[in-house]
């Protein structure tokens, strides 16, 4: 949860259009085309076609199309928000799996989650990050405010996801401090968050770190989210 006050292709493949002019020879009366002319024309056309064949493009030669889907390691409550996570991540220029990791630990997908410290919503954003007109529990608003802080933390940490998580949990000012000097809560946050994110990035289908987090801290949180979302 952000605690510190802010100081703040598409591949479009189209077949090339080839316009071929049509020539016609007309004479008054009957049009007579000798057989030799037809044969010579066909031969010339064949030579021209073979000398400049249509290129064959194999799928292996094309750059991979990026995927915005989140890893299967996340719990069902997080996958409930998969489309929204992709949208929010794109708007914030963040990796969807990093966004999913933060949501997993912060709220397990409960849009009405609230901590004893007063953090609110899906991304457990502290009140001072909202504008007066904001609804903190609106998922889009909560994501916009929380992920803006996460993006700033990631930038401050030089792209290091572990440092970004530390900044998100304990305030960006922590990033410049030695890890041994971080609060216990922040150490615990990155102890689980960093390997969960790595498992997601590495294409694993399950995560021991996420399972350990769930067993130690996430059971009641995720049960609450499950019920709130009306999942079977």
The runs of H, that is alpha helices, within the chain are: 35-51, 76-79, 82-92, 96-106, 139-156, 161-170, 184-201, 208-213, 219-229
Active-site option among 8, 19, 77, 106: 106
At 189, phi and psi to the nearest 5?
-60, -50
- Residue with tokens 């963040």, as numbered in its chain: 94
106 is catalytic: yes
From residue 89, how far is each of 49, 93, 94, 98, 181 by CA, in Å?
48, 6, 5, 9, 30
Q: Please state, in angstroms and rounded to a whole number, the distance separating the CA atoms of residues 38 and 32.
A: 11
Instruction: Kindly tell me the burial class for residue 3, based on how many C-beta atoms sit within 10 Å of its own C-beta (0-12, 13-18, 19 or more).
Output: buried
DSSP, collapsed to helix, strand or coil, labels residue 24 as: coil
Q: For the chain, how big is the Rg over CA atoms in Å?
A: 29
Annotated catalytic residues are 106
């Amino acid at each position: 949860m952000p605690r510190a006050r802010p100081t703040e292709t598409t591949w479009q493949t189209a077949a090339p259009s080839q316009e071929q002019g049509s020539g016609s020879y007309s004479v008054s009366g009957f049009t007579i085309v000798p057989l030799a002319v037809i044969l010579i024309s066909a031969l010339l056309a064949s030579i021209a076609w073979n000398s400049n064949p249509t290129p064959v493009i194999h799928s292996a030669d094309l750059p991979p199309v990026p995927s915005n889907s989140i890893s299967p390691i996340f719990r069902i409550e997080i996958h409930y928000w998969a489309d929204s996570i992709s949208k929010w991540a794109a708007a914030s220029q963040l990796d969807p799996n990093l966004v999913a990791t933060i949501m997993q630990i912060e709220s397990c997908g409960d849009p009405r989650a609230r901590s004893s410290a007063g953090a609110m919503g899906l991304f457990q954003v502290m009140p001072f990050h909202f504008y007066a007109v904001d609804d903190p529990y609106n998922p889009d608003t909560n994501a916009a405010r929380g992920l803006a802080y996460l993006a700033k933390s990631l930038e401050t940490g030089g792209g290091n996801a572990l440092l970004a998580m530390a900044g998100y949990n304990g305030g960006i000012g922590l990033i410049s401090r030695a890890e041994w000097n971080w609060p216990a809560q922040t150490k615990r946050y990155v102890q689980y968050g960093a390997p969960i994110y790595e498992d997601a990035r590495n294409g694993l289908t399950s995560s021991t770190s996420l399972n350990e987090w769930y067993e130690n801290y996430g059971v009641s949180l995720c049960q609450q989210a499950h019920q709130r979302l009306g999942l079977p």
